[in-house]
């Protein structure tokens, strides 16, 4: 079945259920229904994860696992910004090698940079075949596809790159997810010398589950680490290995498609250790929760110092103030402090609906919700946490509904 026929069939049936189409193989004997289902699913996923690709009429999508493992368009664009920051300042032409090409989203993003050559390397022949097709479909003549083992391919190359990007496979032989460098394929720690000999900057994508400080220690000469979240969900860590005599800088970013990108001030572990954190004696009008990138990066004391806010306790990574701040994370308006028992909650929330949030408190959110007799829903939050050494709760709302709920609770 040629590509043109396949895509024409997909366009004709794009609104149908892919699973039902798979069961209709006998009805369409000349149609590869598995490919049809794969393309329909890919196109639907693209509308959210790769919106630019969704507009490409002839783009072919890989199987589900490869799509799930691929970077989103938003995180790929962020990596382009990192490359421009490190390698693009004084270069008229950039040479980039993507040694774990996969679906090719990162390679495509790199190739859209002006005056850039990209070598895409992938050991999976099916993915290489798709990438060759997609490179033509996108009109990206500056990507060259290479099929084979990336380490051996690089070993045979005399070319030196400005940037080598590598995102090792993070699944073991049983398909279980892994995070440590030594458990991934290829094992970067074994091949670090080869990789760095062939580039000025080595960019390593790692699991968001990896311990940042361990990753820095294992890789060595890490100048920067980027903690990247999308819509407050930590998606990836990016380590930059280059010649550096200074301490590693940690950058935290939360990308909100359609809204923008939020960055904190880069920091080092020494700056965090020396920061002067103020701990609260009582909670103010607002409680602030850092976003996922800040929680992973860990500038906990610095947030207090830089924002002029008080931390609830040493191990409670929530902050408070009487003044409203713009913020990388969620902001809660405090309506009242409360005991965390059924009677107190019933008096404060008569309709019995609220979202329960637990932070540094000895209970799971679902169990506490049941214990308090609450149903999920409504516009109020019950925040269970620790202030100093005191286990306590707060009834909160978001900023736009503060006046309404404040008046209701103080009638």
Tens of pLDDT, residues 245-272: 789 999 999 999 888 888 899 999 999 9
pLDDT of residue 277: 96
pLDDT of residue 158: 86
C-alpha distances in angstroms, 151 versus 164, 198, 199, 222? 12, 11, 14, 21
Q: How many CB atoms neighbour CB 205 within 10 A?
A: 21
Q: Is the peptide bond before 186 cis (omega within 30 degrees of 0)?
A: yes
d(CA 330, CA 262): 13
pLDDT of residue 411: 66
d(CA 165, CA 36): 32
Tokens linked to 155? 């070993």
d(CA 369, CA 349): 13
C-alpha distances in angstroms, 184 versus 149, 188, 324? 14, 8, 44
d(CA 329, CA 357): 14
d(CA 108, CA 153): 20
Tokens linked to 156? 């045979």
Query: Which segments in the chain show pLDDT lower than 70?
Result: 88-90, 173-174, 406, 411
d(CA 50, CA 48): 6
* CATH topology for the 69-263 domain: Rossmann fold (3.40.50)
Segments making up each domain of the chain, as ranges: 3-49, 69-263, 272-409
Q: How many CB atoms neighbour CB 286 within 10 A?
A: 21
DSSP string for 143-156: EEEEES-HHHHHHT
d(CA 56, CA 46): 10
d(CA 264, CA 294): 8
């Amino acid at each position: 079945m040629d590509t043109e026929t396949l895509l024409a069939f997909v366009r004709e049936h794009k609104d149908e259920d892919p699973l039902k189409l798979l069961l209709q193989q006998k009805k369409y004997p000349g149609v590869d229904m598995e490919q049809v289902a794969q393309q329909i699913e890919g196109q639907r996923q693209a509308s959210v994860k790769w919106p630019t690709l969704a507009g490409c009429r002839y783009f072919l999508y890989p199987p589900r696992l490869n799509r799930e493992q691929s970077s989103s368009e938003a995180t790929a664009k962020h990596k382009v910004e990192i490359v421009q920051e490190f390698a693009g300042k004084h270069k008229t032409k950039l040479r980039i090698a993507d040694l774990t090409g996969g679906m090719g989203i990162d390679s495509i993003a790199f190739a859209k940079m002006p005056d850039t050559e990209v070598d895409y390397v992938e050991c999976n022949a099916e993915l290489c075949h798709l990438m060759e097709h997609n490179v033509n479909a996108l009109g990206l003549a500056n990507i060259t596809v290479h099929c084979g083992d990336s380490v051996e391919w690089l070993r045979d190359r005399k070319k030196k790159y400005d940037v080598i990007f590598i995102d090792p496979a993070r699944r073991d032989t049983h398909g279980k997810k892994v995070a440590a460098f030594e458990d991934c394929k290829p094992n970067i720690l074994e091949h670090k010398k080869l990789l760095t000999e062939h580039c000025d900057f080595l960019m390593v994508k790692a699991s968001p589950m990896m311990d940042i400080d361990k990753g820095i220690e294992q890789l060595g000469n890490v100048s920067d680490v980027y903690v990247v979240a999308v819509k407050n969900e930590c998606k990836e860590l990016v380590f930059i290995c280059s010649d550096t005599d200074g301490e590693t800088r940690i950058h935290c970013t939360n990308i909100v498609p359609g809204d923008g990108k939020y960055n904190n001030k880069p920091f080092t572990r020494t700056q965090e250790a020396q920061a002067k954190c103020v701990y609260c004696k009582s909670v103010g009008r607002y409680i602030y929760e850092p976003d996922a990138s800040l929680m992973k990066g860990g500038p906990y004391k610095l947030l207090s110092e830089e924002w002029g806010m008080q931390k609830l306790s040493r191990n409670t990574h929530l902050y408070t103030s009487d003044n409203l701040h713009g913020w990388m994370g969620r902001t809660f308006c405090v309506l009242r402090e409360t005991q965390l028992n059924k009677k107190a909650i019933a008096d404060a929330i008569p309709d019995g609906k609220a979202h329960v949030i637990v932070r540094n408190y000895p209970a799971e959110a679902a169990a506490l919700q049941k214990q308090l007799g609450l149903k999920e829903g409504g516009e109020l939050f019950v925040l269970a946490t620790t202030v100093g050494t005191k286990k306590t709760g707060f009834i909160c709302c978001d900023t736009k509904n503060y006046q309404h709920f404040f008046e209701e609770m103080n009638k």
